[in-house]
Every structure is written in C-alpha cells, then in structure tokens.
A and B are shown apart, each in its own frame.
Chain A
Amino acid sequence: MEFEPKIVSFLCNWCSYTGADLAGTSRMKYASNIRVIRVMCSGRVDPTFVLKSFREGADGVLICGCHPGDCHYHEGNYKCLRRYHFLKKYMAQMGINPDRLKLAWISASEGKEFAHLADEMAETIKSLGPCKVKDEMEIFD
C-alpha cells in the first residue's frame, strides 16, 4: 500500500482558513493528507504545537498565515516566521528533515493556491517517507 502521510496544518482564522474553505466550497480537489486545525493567528502557533505534532505521529506540519502586512493582529505572521526559522534549525540538529515543516502565506481569496499547496506538501512528504520521531521516542534502550 502506498504511504499516505499525515500532515497537521495550522491555518489562521482570518486568511488561510477562509482560503481553504474557498477551495472546499469551490469543489476543488486536493490531497486528503491535510488535517486542518484552525487557530486565531499563525502567531498563535507555539513551537510546542509543532514538536508535539511530530511526537504524536505527524509526518509533516504545515502552517499557513496571512500575507506579510495583512495580519489581522498586525504582526502575528512575522512572529510565526521567526519561530519557523528557529524550528527548522532546531529540527535539523535533532535529525528531523526540516522540509517536513512548511510555512506559507494564503489569503482568503487563494483557494486555488491552497489546493495546490496541499498537493505539493503531500508530494514532498511522500518522497521523504514516514517520520520516525514517534517510534524512536518510544524506544527506551
């Protein structure tokens, strides 16, 4: 059976979730590997959420927020961007491929872009294979 990755996606309430919703209401097809969690802002995505996702079995994590300058709370997406860079660096140190984490900007009108992004992310993670974090963390030897 082909590997079907689990991708946890944190979408901001104001732009990206609405964008994903538009993809749905427009009946666009995209990879069903995406599991959406709505957050009020991409700035709400604590690095703990990302690490916990991997620890509990996610193969990839996708964070989407408003385009730079468009944040409903002025600068939440910038904070997310800085955390994202930190996380990537940390993941590389811990032996987790940084490509398993992606940050993208999706506006409320970009349903098509979201569908495309979801497909692209699913492809990336499929090519990387299953994430070993959950299994490895459960081995105490």
Chain B
Amino acid sequence: MSQKPKIKLAIYWGAACGGCCVSVLDVHEKLFDVVAAADLVFWPIALDFKYKDVEAMADDYIDVTLYNGAVRNSENEHIAKLLRKKTKILVAYGSCAHMGGIPGLGNFSDRKGIFDRAYQTSESTVNEEKIRPQTETEMAEGTLTLPEFYNDVKTLDQVVDVDYYLPGCPPQTERLVEVFMAIVTGAELPPKGSVVGALEKTLCDECEREKTDEKVIKEFKRPWEIEDDGKTCFLEQGVICMGPATRGGCGARCIKGNAPCRGCYGPSSAATDPGAKMMSAIATMIDSDDPEEIESILDQVVDPAGTFYRFSLPGSIIRKTIG
C-alpha cells in the first residue's frame, strides 16, 4: 500500500459549526488508514496551513476536497472558488454544503434583519451608537477588513461546480470511510453530481420501528406529549418525523435514540423538495375530510416551513422568504 502514491486531501469549513470536521476525526483508529493513503494538505481546524499555501498550489493539485458548511459570506465564497480551482474532486460534505443546513435558516430573514436582531434588538445588547459590522474600518495602524456578510445563504453548488454530495448533519463517519476508501482504491466512481454515502430510498425504508399500512393522524403532538413505547412509528403516534421525505443511510441514529427524524440527509433520490414531499406525505395521513377540521389539525403544526426545511431551505424550490 505504501508504494502507491498518496492522494492529497483538503478539508475546509465554510458557514459551519465544526461538527463535520469532528465527524472526520471520528474515524478514530481508522485515521491511520486514512493518513497511510492520503496527505492532508489543508485543514484549518486541525493543521496550520494558510490560505496563501493553497493559493500557491498548482491547479488540480488537490485530489479530493471535503467542503463543509454553507456559503454565508465573501470569505466562504472566495475559498470555495479557490478550492474548486485547485481540486479534482470537490465533495459537498454535510447538510450545510449540500442544501444549506442550519445556517440556511437565515434565509427566513436577510442581512438587515439578522444584523438588527443580533446587534440591536436582542435582549442582552446595548448598542446606542447603532454600530454594525463593516467590511473595512480605518484605524491608526491601517485598514482592518472583515468578510462581507451576504444577504442570503447559498449552498455550495450555487457558488461552484460540485462533484459529489455526502449528506448528513454530520455525515455518518462510516460512510465517509467507505467513500474515501473507494476513491483511494480506485474503485469505479458514481456519475458526477451523485449523492454518495447514503441510500437512494427514504429513511422509512431502513427504520426498524413498526409501521402499519393505514397511518392516520387525528392530532399532532410534541415528543414530550407522548409516552413513546420505543417500537411504534413516530408518525403513527402523532409526532412529526421527517422519515418519509428524507434519504436513508444514516443508520437511523436519531430513531434508535428514540428521537424522530429531522431531515438532515435531505430528500431521497425520487424527490426534489423535501418540504413539499413532507406536506404531501403528512396530508395523506390526516384523518379528516372536513375542511374546518383539517385546518384545525394542521394548525397544530406551528411552523411548517421551519420544520420541513430545517436543513434544506437554501437548496429548496422557494429558497428564501419573499421580501
């Protein structure tokens, strides 16, 4: 194995929480297999490389880049474009790069709304001079700069060309190792644009909870309102579970921890818009034909947009609110 030339691997975080980078570290002792087969050439969370080191690389110098995080500001976009130029295979790693993820919920507001809340109206803020972050500030020592905060959050593929998507918040580490080993061993890779490290079908397909064919919902409940028996399908117990509209492959981690699915793996291969699919699926289960009763049952779902697009707002059909 050591005779083979090592592949060059880069990992970068855009607008992310750091969980994706930790999921890479979660390979534990398999890390030895990874470093035996790959040289890490850029990884801000763990290694001291600078942006100028990447800028100095030849085009296509890096074999694989795992880009996690959404594109929230000009720095995220700049590095995404830089890494695209320097990389042969660019992977959108994790929910944020794939469909926008949690930072993507920022698209329910805009720059002004977010700045006003964060720097003015939040309960713990005192800001009488109404100071807002500036991209450039003149100081005695010279000009200080900050990246520009964009008006909306973008997915990685709305900014650069992406080769593969590896979904999850964070992706299952085992899936990452499988995909990585496939690249290293030179196995035949799926067509460009594929979602890798996940199933084609929905989570329900691999979920072990007991399901009946006749799902009916008369009342929606919050998880704390039910006494979960640990066996019955969450939806059949009236708890919203994103399983029917979410791609499987995560190993039903949340379900095994007795929590309903929140949809981090994005829509299955058969669907384009997870929220629309979920509205469609849930509507089928509501046990009423009376318009008024239907409306009162649906009113129990307080925030359909936030619930059904929790991880996917910037990557969905209506990707932000209309001002």
- Interface residue ranges, A against B (CB under 8 Å): 46-48, 50-52, 54-55, 68, 75, 78-79, 81-83, 85-87, 89-90, 93-96, 132-133, 136-137, 140-141
Contacts and interface: CB of A to CB of B under 8 A. Distances in A.
28 contacts: A46-B277, A46-B280, A47-B276, A47-B279, A47-B280, A48-B271, A48-B273, A48-B276, A48-B317, A51-B273, A81-B291, A81-B294, A82-B283, A83-B279, A83-B283, A85-B294, A86-B279, A86-B282, A86-B301, A90-B275, A90-B279, A93-B303, A93-B305, A96-B318, A96-B322, A132-B322, A133-B318, A137-B319
Given A83-B279, A86-B279, A90-B275, A54 B318 contact: yes
B150 A93 contact: no
B286 to A, nearest CB: 5
Contacts of B276: 46-48, 50-51
B153 to A, nearest CB: 10
Interface size bracket, B side: 35 or more
Interface string B278-322: 011011101011010011001001011110100000000111111
Contacts of B273: 47-48, 51
A70 to B, nearest CB: 12
B69 to A, nearest CB: 17
Contacts of B304: 86, 89-90, 93
B72 interface: no
A82 B321 contact: no
A81 B295 CA distance: 10
A55 to B, nearest CB: 5
Contacts of B154: 140
- With most chain B CB atoms within 10 A of its CB, the pick from A46, A140, A141 is A140
B317 A93 contact: no
Contacts, number: 91
A25 B303 CA distance: 45
Main secondary structure of the interface of A (DSSP, over half): helix
B73 interface: no
Given A51-B273, A83-B283, A141 B152 contact: yes
A79 B282 CA distance: 10
B121 interface: no
B158 A55 contact: no
A78 B306 CA distance: 25
B323 interface: yes
A47 B275 CA distance: 9
A79 B318 contact: no
* 3 closest cross-chain pairs (CB), A and B: A82-B283, A95-B322, A47-B276
A83 B150 contact: no
B120 interface: no
Given A46-B280, A51-B317, A94-B322, 20 more contacts: A50-B276, A51-B273, A51-B276, A54-B318, A68-B289, A75-B289, A81-B289, A82-B283, A82-B284, A82-B286, A82-B294, A83-B279, A83-B280, A86-B298, A89-B301, A90-B304, A96-B318, A96-B322, A133-B322, A141-B150
Contact of A94 (B291, B294, B321): B321
Given A85-B295, A86-B283, A140-B152, A78 B289 contact: yes
